[in-house]
Amino acid sequence: MQDRKTDVLVIGAGPAGSMTAKWAAKGGADVLLIEKRQEIGSPVRCGEGMSKDWLPEVGITPGRWINLEVEGARIFSPSEKVFEINEKHAGNEVGYVVERDGFDKQLAIDAANEGVEVKLKCAALGLLKDHGRVVGAKVKEFGETYEVHAPVTVGADGFESQVGRWAGIPTNIAMRDMDTCLQYRMANVDCDVRYCDFYLGKVAPGGYVWVFPKAEGLANVGIGVQVSQVKSPADARTHLDRWIDHHPGYAKGKKIDMVGGGVSISPPLKQTVADGILLVGDAARMIDPLTGGGIANGCIAGKICGQVAAEAVQAGDPSKEFFQKYEKGWRARLEEKLYRNWLAKEKLVSLSDETFDKVIDALAGVQLQKLSVHNILKAVRDKYPEVTKEFEAFL
C-alpha cells in the first residue's frame, strides 16, 4: 500500500484518542485516527463507572450509552461498616454507570463527524524519526504495511502503550504503581442500583473490590490488587472469587463475562511530550491513582491535546517547546489532584484494617453535611481519638 500524509496521526481510538482527534479536527487539522482492533470499544476493559460533571467541558452529550445514574458511593470497611458519599464528592468513577463500548463508539462517531478519518485493524508498529524528531509511524492495516507521515503524532494507545517507549519518553511503571484487575459481569445478584460500592482493606491488598450496578440484579463485580502486594500468581482472581464466596448476595450470581487489565496508580509522569509527539490518557499514566478511574482524565487531557496539536500544525512548529502548551495545560487542569490522590492512595494502603474500620465507623455515625478534611477529622477525633494521629497524617 502507498505511504500517506496527514497533519495529525492519533494512535489508538479509546476515549483519549477519539477526543484528541475530534478536537484537532475542530482546530482545522487533517486527522487520521488508527485503531488496531476491529471494533472500537470492544472488548471492554472497564468497570464502567464515571462521574458526570466534566462531560460538558469536553463537549460530550449524554446518550444511549448510559445504563443508569447512581446517587452516590458506599465505602465498606474491612468489617463492613458503611460510609455513604454523595455522587458529587465520590470521585471520578461515580455518577453514571455506562455501556463502555457504546461510549467509546460514540466518541469515535463524534470525531468522524468532525472530519476525522478512522481506520480499523490498523496498528502502529513503530515510529518514524528524523533527526530524533517523531515524524509519523509505520502501520499495518489489514496485513499491509505502510508509512504515515505526520508532523504531529499522538500516542493514545492505552495502558499497554508502546508509543511512549518508542519515542524515548520514560513511561515505565513500578510494581507498586500498578493494580492488576479482574472483573466479572454478574447476573442474578443483590446489587443496589442507587450506589457504586467499594470494599477496602485486606479483601483487595493495595486496591479494592468494586460493585458497579448495571441494572436491577446485574452488576460489574471487580477487583484491583497492587502488583507489589501480589503473593502468588492469579492473586487478583483468587481474592475476587473469595470475596464473592463470602457474600451470599453475589455468590448466588452467575458470571456472564470476564475482563482483566492493568491500571496505573502512579504519580503523574514528568514528561508527556517530545519533538513531534504527545502522549495522552492511560499512555500518559493519567489514571486517578486513588479511584483507578481514567475515562474522565483521558477525555479532559484529550481535548487540550487535540487543540494544541492543531495549533502546532497551523504554526508549523511541532516541537517539544511548542507542546509545552499541552504539557502545562493538562497539568494545570489535572496534576494537582493526581498528585494529591497519589499521596492519599500511598497512605491509604498503609492503614491497618482496624484503623480503617474505626475511621469508616466514625464517619458512618455522623451526617457529614460537607465532605471536608475538617469535618472528617472532627468526626474521627470525637469517636476514636486514638487513631486521630495516624489518620491525621493521611489527610
Partner 1 sequence: MPNKKSLHIESSGQLCIYCGACVGICPLNCIYLDETRITFDEKVCTRCEVCVKACPVGAIEIG
Ligand X SMILES: Cc1cc2nc3c(=O)[nH]c(=O)nc-3n(C[C@H](O)[C@H](O)[C@H](O)COP(=O)(O)OP(=O)(O)OC[C@H]3O[C@@H](n4cnc5c(N)ncnc54)[C@H](O)[C@@H]3O)c2cc1C
Residues near partner 1 (CB under 8 A):
36-38, 43, 45, 123, 158-162, 165, 172-173, 175, 178, 180-182, 225, 227-228, 230, 232-237, 258-262, 264
Residue 116: name its binding partner from partner 1, ligand X, none (Cβ under 5 to 8 Å by kind). none
Nearest to 154 by CA among 315, 50, 25, 331: 25
Helical segments of 66-224, H only: 100-113, 163-166
User: Quick one: 207 or 318, whose CB is closer to ligand X?
Assistant: 207
Q: Which of 6, 10, 14, 273 binds ligand X (CB under 6 A)?
A: 14
Residues contacting residue 58 through CB under 8 Å, at least 6 positions apart: 19, 299, 300, 302, 303
Q: Which of residues 341-380 bind ligand X (CB under 6 A)?
A: none
Stretch that binds ligand X, among 59-67, 164-172, 249-257, 277-285 (CB under 6 A): 277-285
CB 6 within 8 A of CB 150: yes
Sheet holding 144-149, edge to edge: 4-5, 144-149, 133-141, 122-130
The whole-angstrom separation of Cα 292 and Cα 286 is 10
Q: What does 87 bind: ligand X, partner 1, none (CB cut-off 5 to 8 Å by kind)? A: none
Minimum distance between the CB of residue 237 and ligand X, rounded to whole angstroms?
12
- Grid coordinates of 81: 461498616
Distance CA 12, CA 57 (A): 22
Q: Residue 282 CB, nearest distance to ligand X (Å)?
A: 4
Q: In terms of C-beta density within 10 A (0-12 exposed, 13-18 middle, 19 or more buried), how is residue 393 classed?
A: exposed
Among residues 8, 9, 10, 13, the one that binds ligand X under rule CB under 6 A = 13
Residues from 89 through 108 that contact ligand X (CB under 6 A): 93
Q: Which is nearer to partner 1, 120 or 344 (CB)?
A: 120
264 contact, one of partner 1, ligand X, none, CB 5-8 Å limit per kind: partner 1
What are the backbone angles phi and psi of residue 148, rounded to the nearest 5°? -110, 120
Q: How far is the CB of 271 from partner 1 (least distance, A)?
A: 17
In whole angstroms, the minimum distance from the beta carbon of 161 to ligand X comes to: 7
Contact criterion met (CB below 8 Å) for 122 and 27: no
Q: Which does 227 bind (CB under 5 to 8 A by kind): ligand X, partner 1, none?
A: partner 1
Alpha helices in the chain (DSSP H): 15-26, 55-58, 100-113, 163-166, 235-245, 248-251, 295-315, 324-330, 336-348, 353-365, 373-383, 385-394
Our finding on whether 136 is near ligand X (CB under 6 A) is: no
Please pick, from the candidates 50, 73, 178, 380, the single residue that binds ligand X as defined by CB under 6 A: 50
Cell of 372: 471536608
Options 2-10, 294-302, 304-312, 328-336: segment touching ligand X (CB under 6 A): 294-302
- Residue 238 CB, nearest distance to partner 1 (Å)? 8
- Which DSSP state fits 253? -
Nearer to partner 1, 131 or 231 (CB): 231
- Does position 306 interact with ligand X (CB under 6 A)? The reply is no
> Site mask, ligand X, residues 20-49, x = CB under 6 A?
--------------xxxx-------xxxxx
Provide the minimum distance between the beta carbon of 391 and partner 1 in the complex, in angstroms, as a whole number. Answer: 30
Quick one: which of 9, 116, 156, 338 contacts ligand X (CB under 6 A)? 156
The whole-angstrom separation of Cα 59 and Cα 40 is 20
211 binds ligand X (CB under 6 A): no
Nearer to partner 1, 230 or 343 (CB): 230
- Are residues 24 and 306 in contact, defined by beta-carbon separation less than 8 angstroms? yes
Comparison of 237 and 337: residue with beta carbon closer to partner 1: 237
- 253 touching ligand X, by CB under 6 A: no
DSSP states along 86-107: EGGGS-TT-SEEE-HHHHHHHH
Q: How far is CA 257 from its chain centroid?
A: 20
Distance CA(22)–CA(31), nearest Å, equals 8
Rounded CA separation 81/339 (Å): 28
How many residues of this chain interact with ligand X, rule: CB under 6 A?
Answer: 40
Which residues are near ligand X by CB under 6 A?
Answer: 11-17, 34-37, 45-50, 93, 123-124, 156-159, 162, 181, 183, 222, 259, 261, 263, 281-283, 287, 292-295, 298
